[in-house]
Structure 1
């Protein structure tokens, strides 16, 4: 949530560059939350972006609100792209399968229709042959009845030269009729078989046609699903292209931003060096005071030994043993859990590494109790600074307070409080432990109300958790 722990160069630079990417971020959000998406889908997508933004803010704290949202959107859309690609591939696979099924059923219908046409033609042919055979039989019977024999035309058909007697003629007629009857019987049986086959084929054809209709409906539905998947992927592609273009614009400004970073990093280092120099002087004064105290004790001990005729005692030596930092007895400056800790932060994937080092050090800890929450002095001390951070170039800190908690043993401690909505103390003022010094805010380069709390021990920024 905080930005103060980052070198102010990055904070100020990215605040300046965020205006250039806001348009892309807003456009991306407009596209992402428009169209025919359901309310639940919009809520899920918005929640994903907000969750990703929270991660980005925790990791890359010098980004302001607009820039962190842009980075979060890019991360979310890049995460959505594989799913959109897979959904499109799956839809295209289903369309292909459905089209193959329709094609196979179409071929089966065509084959059934072709077979039925062949059988129908055979039935017509058989019916014609039956009709001709019936006609021949009728003619033979009529002629045989009238003339008492087989007409000469039928004798020739049977390969006979004629009959020498009526008996021969009648026998020949009977033979012809039997042959014609056998032929007609075969034709009738074949015709009945063909009719049954045609009926069965008609039923099969109707069933296949029904399946084909269903398959065509399924194909239409799959094509619609594919088109929807393609549209979603195109939307994700567009969003990625827009956010990537904004990222590229930021990358193009990298040299200028790095120059600003260097300038403000110098200001950050100078501010810490100022505290370090003050602490060095305090430690030197404390060392001299301790040496003077020990020297005075040695002198008195020697005088006492001389008066009592005792051997001179071994002179004492001022202690140089490091003091345990917990000796300062710091308490929490606000009543809230820690929202972000002290330590190295890796540069998030897909974002610009302005330092080229892969990350940065978050030099304090953050509390997020809400806007206006009171901030208390964790230990007694002198107010060294109560300003807006501009005196030494620390613009990104917003309203700040710096407390000097003095020297204990061989350690000097100062504490910093950034992004206050306001402070209620003045430089040079002495405050007691637990005394109100200001209120939590979001001034300076901050993405939300919080307190950035730092501890400077003997000129070095250290993890406050080691002193609390």
Structure 2
């Protein structure tokens, strides 16, 4: 990747780290799918690292990681809030089940107590019936405690008003009726007890499940909080690291800019001389034709007028790498996102070429026929590079540059044909990964190669 600014549009890598101003910065990606969001963050991280290729690789990676961390932080914070909400819901559910279980157990205790009371009443009634029957059988009389059924202890009155046998029978019938009612009540209480015991069993199972759910929710919330805490810590650490490195980065950028300005000046001056020489030759040819016409007594030809610029038609460039290699970074101005650190101080940077995502070792070909005027290692951050002058055609000069190669197979001064192998791609110089950075300079100015290919 190469950058330009100023009158020559050669800014030399204005580095804009996509670095949020606060921990609450919104994520760079708004995709619904988490995989898409992560892919978008990774792409933004790669873009940031590419923009920092003229800086130490560790700094570039830190900036890229910071983009990812800050992009993930809002989602992690939202996940933490949702996890905490699940904990609250689980706690509420467990508390409600515990309250219901307590009520059910209280109900069971009351029913059990009632059953015990009913059992005693049934026993007393059965005993009374037995006494009535035994007394009537033995003596035809009524035992003294039968008076309990009639509210009187004066048994002498009975013999004056009714037959003792009939009275005993009625007493026994009344006792039997009472026993039947008590037995029915007992059966109902037994059924209620069974229902309550089943309810208690069900509630205990639900309560146990609710407690497990609560524990899982708490564990999940703890994990989410740990993730958020780590993202915040990593973001703070990387931000501090980059802020501390800022003076050194700016000094390095100033050096890189000076080197790249020199390259821009070299290309501009070389192309200017070529165009001037070409124009002088065209004017010489026109003057010679005019002189020949005058000597022959013919009318003077029309004055020479330089043709309109049309570099695409004039040079007919081909892609410098195989057709299946994608373009990973285009040409043009890259604005610094609001709230980010702009190390160069111009609000963005100018990417003066295009990057092909070529794996290391991919063949690199001359985009057009020309003369190699620089080959091998350079001190402009481009590593092993090749610079080719394609001369002047119809008034337009063209220079192409190929940066970051693993190796170069041509030499300075060599004539090359279009499509000839000139290098193998790599990641030499200030580069964060294998790629081919390709530049086109028309009439001394960097232009978008896609307009010429």
TM-score scaled by structure 1?
Answer: 0.75
SS in 2 for 1:241: helix
Distance 1:457 1:196 in 2: 105
Moved more, 154-163 or 369-378: 154-163
- Quote the residue 1:275 is aligned against: 267
- Name the structure where helix makes up a greater proportion of residues: 1
Offset at 1:195? 1.2
- Give the unaligned 5+ runs of structure 2: 5-10, 18-33
Q: Deviations over 1:178-229 (max 9, x none)?
A: 7744652443133112211221022112211221232133124313421331
Q: Deviations over 1:332-363 (max 9, x none)?
A: 22224233232344557996443466643322
SS in 2 for 1:88: helix
1:404 equivalent to 2:389? Answer yes
- Quote the residue 1:39 is aligned against: none
Alignment of 1:358-377 (within 5 A): 359-377=348-366
Distance 2:309 2:102 in 1: 92
Alignment of 1:409-428 (within 5 A): 409-428=394-413
Moved more, 111-120 or 75-84: 75-84
1:455 equivalent to 2:446? Answer no
Tell me: CA distance 1:58–1:159, structure 2 relative to 1, closer, same or farther (3 Å): same
Distance 1:174 1:351 in 2: 111
8 Å contact 2:3–2:13 — kept in the other structure? Answer: no
1:342 equivalent to 2:331? Answer yes
Offset at 1:327? 0.8
Aligned with residue 388 of structure 1, among 353, 377, 380: 377
Distance 1:100 1:124 in 2: 36
Aligned with residue 233 of structure 1, among 213, 224, 242: 224
- Quote the residue 1:215 is aligned against: 206
Offset at 1:437? 2.4
Q: Deviations over 1:403-438 (max 9, x none)?
A: 111111221111111111122333333333333322
SS in 1 for 2:50: coil
8 Å contact 1:419–1:446 — kept in the other structure? Answer: yes
1:378 equivalent to 2:370? Answer no
Offset at 1:59? 5.7
Distance 2:275 2:269 in 1: 10
- Quote the residue 2:7 is aligned against: none
State the Cα RMSD in Å: 4.0
Alignment of 1:14-29 (within 5 A): none
Q: Deviations over 1:119-168 (max 9, x none)?
A: 2254145336526855885798699857xx997995995397965xx951
Aligned with residue 189 of structure 1, among 169, 180, 184: 180
8 Å contact 1:80–1:236 — kept in the other structure? Answer: no
Distance 2:64 2:311 in 1: 42
Alignment of 1:309-328 (within 5 A): 312-313=299-300, 315-328=302-315
Aligned with residue 87 of structure 2, among 67, 71, 92: 92
Distance 2:340 2:79 in 1: 22
8 Å contact 2:371–2:389 — kept in the other structure? Answer: yes
- Quote the residue 1:247 is aligned against: 238
Q: Deviations over 1:368-424 (max 9, x none)?
A: 34322332222222222224221xxx1x21111211111112211111111111223
TM-score scaled by structure 2?
Answer: 0.77
Tell me: CA distance 1:368–1:197, structure 2 relative to 1, closer, same or farther (3 Å): same
1:158 equivalent to 2:143? Answer no
- Quote the residue 2:112 is aligned against: 117
The alignment covers a number of residue pairs equal to 421
SS in 2 for 1:453: strand
SS in 2 for 1:433: coil
Distance 2:49 2:86 in 1: 38
Aligned with residue 278 of structure 2, among 276, 286, 293: 286
1:438 equivalent to 2:423? Answer yes
- Quote the residue 2:22 is aligned against: none
Distance 1:67 1:183 in 2: 96
Tell me: CA distance 1:261–1:353, structure 2 relative to 1, closer, same or farther (3 Å): same
Distance 1:210 1:117 in 2: 16
- Quote the residue 2:28 is aligned against: none
- Give the unaligned 5+ runs of structure 1: 15-44, 307-311
8 Å contact 2:314–2:394 — kept in the other structure? Answer: no
- Quote the residue 1:36 is aligned against: none
Distance 1:152 1:433 in 2: 131
8 Å contact 2:49–2:61 — kept in the other structure? Answer: no
8 Å contact 2:133–2:172 — kept in the other structure? Answer: no
8 Å contact 2:14–2:350 — kept in the other structure? Answer: no
Distance 2:321 2:450 in 1: 14
Offset at 1:455? 0.6
